[in-house]
């Protein structure tokens, strides 16, 4: 029985090691495994159902997520939450939206940066994006979870490194028909949507758009300082619509 269930995991591990972007695929795998094992997925019977499940979800988000009002109290545990929150997601839509963005844009960015540098870049920018949001909302007691501060940094770096890469997008106002645009059109449009949404955002549950903007700016700025001229144009096989679920405030 053990070998029956372990075989797919072994094959997945081999494919990650043999790929050109093992960090990207490992991050996707880790986020998916943690989500499926945790209470947010609603699949693990350990957490029960109904009110018990909701209580377990709230407890998980408060333990591993960023709570701005508690972040600057000097606790070492709270100081780590901008890193742990990168691997926690609040819903299926939240997880799948973020992982799709990471899958599309992460591999090429990792290949350009290298494995070690990409890992440090991803975690560091993600941490700073959540920290920046917490500074701007220091009185908020909403827990903040999700990887899209880090993924937004990947988008910013991708825009600088591959501005003319052709990206397939599904636009709602075109009835979700697939259209191809260069990255310098799609990604600034995505950033503009985040900016507009951030201006309308309230303190209640929803999406922390400010974390997206901070991450995007950090990624673009880092790539522009660290690297020279952008890479020659290429094609991105697939891409989501120019908006993501983002950092979730359960």
CATH 3.40.50.720 holds for 2-249: no
- Residue 140 confidence (pLDDT): 87
Nearest to 170 by CA among 159, 158, 183, 179: 179
State what percent of residues in the chain have pLDDT above 90. 46
Higher pLDDT, 88 or 248: 88
Write down the pLDDT at residue 172. 46
pLDDT in tens, 124-166: 999 999 999 999 888 888 899 999 899 999 999 998 999 888 7
pLDDT band at 224 (very low <50, low <70, confident <90, very high): very high
**For the chain, what percent of residues have pLDDT higher than 70?**
69
Q: List active site positions.
A: 148, 212
């Amino acid at each position: 029985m053990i070998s029956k269930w372990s075989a797919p995991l072994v094959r997945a591990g081999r494919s990650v090691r043999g790929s050109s972007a093992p960090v990207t695929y490992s991050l996707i795998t880790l986020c998916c495994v943690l989500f499926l094992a945790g209470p947010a997925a609603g699949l693990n019977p350990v957490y029960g159902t109904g009110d018990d499940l909701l209580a377990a979800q709230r407890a998980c988000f408060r333990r591993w997520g960023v709570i701005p009002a508690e972040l600057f109290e000097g606790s070492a545990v709270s100081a780590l939450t901008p890193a742990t929150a990168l691997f926690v997601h609040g819903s299926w839509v939240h997880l799948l939206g973020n992982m799709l963005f990471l899958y599309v844009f992460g591999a090429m960015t990792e290949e350009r940066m290298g494995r070690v540098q990409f890992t440090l870049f991803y975690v560091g920018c993600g941490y700073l994006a959540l920290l920046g949001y917490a500074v701007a909302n220091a009185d908020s007691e909403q827990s903040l979870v999700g990887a899209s501060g880090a993924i937004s940094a990947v988008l910013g770096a991708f825009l600088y490194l591959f501005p003319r890469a052709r990206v397939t997008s599904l636009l709602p106002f075109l009835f979700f028909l697939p259209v191809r645009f260069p990255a310098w059109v799609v990604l600034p449009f995505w950033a503009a949507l985040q900016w507009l949404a951030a201006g309308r955002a309230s303190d209640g549950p929803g999406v922390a758009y400010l974390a997206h903007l901070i991450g995007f700016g950090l990624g673009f700025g880092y790539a522009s300082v660290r690297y020279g001229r952008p890479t020659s144009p290429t094609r991105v096989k697939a891409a989501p619509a120019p908006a993501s679920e983002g950092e979730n405030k359960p």
